[in-house]
Amino acid sequence: MKTILSTVFLAALAAGQVCLAQTGQPSRVAPGLSSPLIDENHQVTFRLQGPNASTVLLQSDFLPDTPFKKGTNGVWSLSVGPVKPDIYYYNLVVDGVRALDPGNPNAKIGFTTSTITSILELREDQPAFYDLKNVPHGVIRGHLYESKSNGATRELNVYTPPGYDEQSGKRYPVLYLLHGANNDQYSWLRYGRAAEIIDNLLAEKAIEPFIVVMPLGYGGASADGRTRGPAAGRAGPGSGSDAYERDVIEDIIPFIDKTYRSIADHDHRAIVGFSMGGGHSSRIGLGHLDVFGYIGVMSAGMGGGVDAEPMKSLAANATAANERIKLLWIACGKDDFALSGAKIFSEALTKAGIKHTFVESEGAHHWRVWRRYLHELSPLLFK
């Protein structure tokens, strides 16, 4: 009940229906107070109508926690910037309660309420690599499928490149693109802009066409979210991660190869993910080098070191492993809390004699980095 009430309350707050009063009871908000406001110099002003509020704070992925100032007519405001054009996420903390910006209709959602945030997007004069452009577009297709290995009806999304339906005799490589914790099978489309990035790279002739599969990433979870094991996402035998690995190998790949014109071999399959999904992609990819030739790990490592599987088996015959690995690409931002784990993973691979590429970039643990990584990694696939 707590989760349901929190979701309803946040939705009402986002719609501008309530604000927090000093007494802790909701009070009406004057309609029409839009926020944030962005000027021509990329100065951003956040506003909140909260005459009874005692404190208002901005929590974001681009600034330290920053307090608002209370002005006339009970309007709280905060101006920051200039802010570099990109896509950012933020919340307001009103009298200690984290909430959406009621003046902003653009909100990020996911698999859990903890990921609900407001979206701030600042655009360049020219479209960014992740923007929708006037180019041929692929098609997004959603599927429910029976995961026999997980005993659940699960969901995934598939991107097919422009021309897929018209070129009925052509077959395509497949990228399995995994999301991180608190996200879901829609996150790479909504916030990673995966379809726009691939469309634009195809239009630039930077890549050859391939299919992209974006599954739900929690082992044991059903499509309606009713089945959510407490171990979902964690690695280890019997855990949600173990169940997810079975789902990918035993259910998802056979479903895709049966439903789509995929090239069903090791040389034409890639598995890539970020954060939790990066842990999945390293474990599943390196554990099944007969299935995947290309492996991408964003903002993640792989626990256990050289004495744990699958690293132990790889180290035992590094020559054979390197013959199977067409690309093992690991990247992490220098301000990312996952950097230490990513470096340890890279060092363990080096010690085991496994060839790979390690990229330490600018940025932290957020979508701005993962969008850029997808843009940089895609041209390296299926070569």
Residue 309: pLDDT band with limits 50, 70, 90 = confident
Residue 318: pLDDT band with limits 50, 70, 90 = very high
CATH of 2-121, one of 2.60.40.10, 3.40.50.300, 1.10.8.870, 3.30.230.10: 2.60.40.10
The most confident of 51-55, 180-184, 326-330, by mean pLDDT: 326-330
Q: What percent of the chain has pLDDT over 90?
A: 74
Give one DSSP letter per residue of 261-316, joined into a string.
-B--SGGGEEEEEETHHHHHHHHHHHH-TTT-SEEEEES---TTGGGSTTHHHHHH
Residue 114: pLDDT band with limits 50, 70, 90 = confident
pLDDT surpassing 50 at residue 131: yes
Residue 73: pLDDT band with limits 50, 70, 90 = confident
Q: What percent of the chain has pLDDT over 70?
A: 87
| pLDDT mean over 290-299 | 98
pLDDT at 30: 42
Instruction: Enumerate the domain spans of the chain.
Output: 2-121, 139-380
pLDDT surpassing 70 at residue 25: no
pLDDT surpassing 70 at residue 229: no
| pLDDT mean over 12-26 | 35
pLDDT at 305: 64
pLDDT surpassing 70 at residue 382: yes
Note the pLDDT tens digit of each residue in 232-283: 444 433 347 889 999 999 999 999 999 999 999 999 999 999 999 999 999 9
Topology classification of domain 139-380:
Rossmann fold (3.40.50)
Residue 94: pLDDT band with limits 50, 70, 90 = very high
pLDDT at 7: 36
pLDDT at 61: 93
Contact 237, 173 (CB under 8 A): no
pLDDT surpassing 60 at residue 292: yes
Sheet containing 269-274, strands listed edge to edge, beginning at the edge strand earlier in sequence: 139-147, 152-160, 211-215, 174-178, 269-274, 294-298, 327-333, 357-361
Residues 6+ apart with CB under 8 A from 141: 157, 158, 159, 160
pLDDT at 12: 38
- DSSP at 383: -
pLDDT at 235: 40
| Closest by CA position to 35, among listed 25, 45, 49, 21 | 45
The most confident of 32-36, 101-105, 240-244, by mean pLDDT: 101-105
Q: pTM (2 decimals)?
A: 0.87
Residue 306: pLDDT band with limits 50, 70, 90 = low
pLDDT surpassing 80 at residue 342: yes
pLDDT at 32: 58
Q: Which long-range contacts (CB under 8 A, 24 or more apart) does 120-127 make?
A: 120/36, 120/44, 120/60, 120/83, 120/87, 120/88, 120/89, 120/90, 121/86, 121/87, 121/88, 122/38, 122/42, 122/44, 122/83, 122/84, 122/85, 122/86, 122/88, 123/85, 124/85
| pLDDT mean over 154-178 | 96
| Closest by CA position to 352, among listed 364, 360, 344 | 344
Cross-strand bridge partners of residue 333: 361
CA dihedral 227, 230, 233, 238 (to 10 degrees): -90
For 365, other C-beta atoms within 10 Å of its C-beta total 20
pLDDT at 225: 67
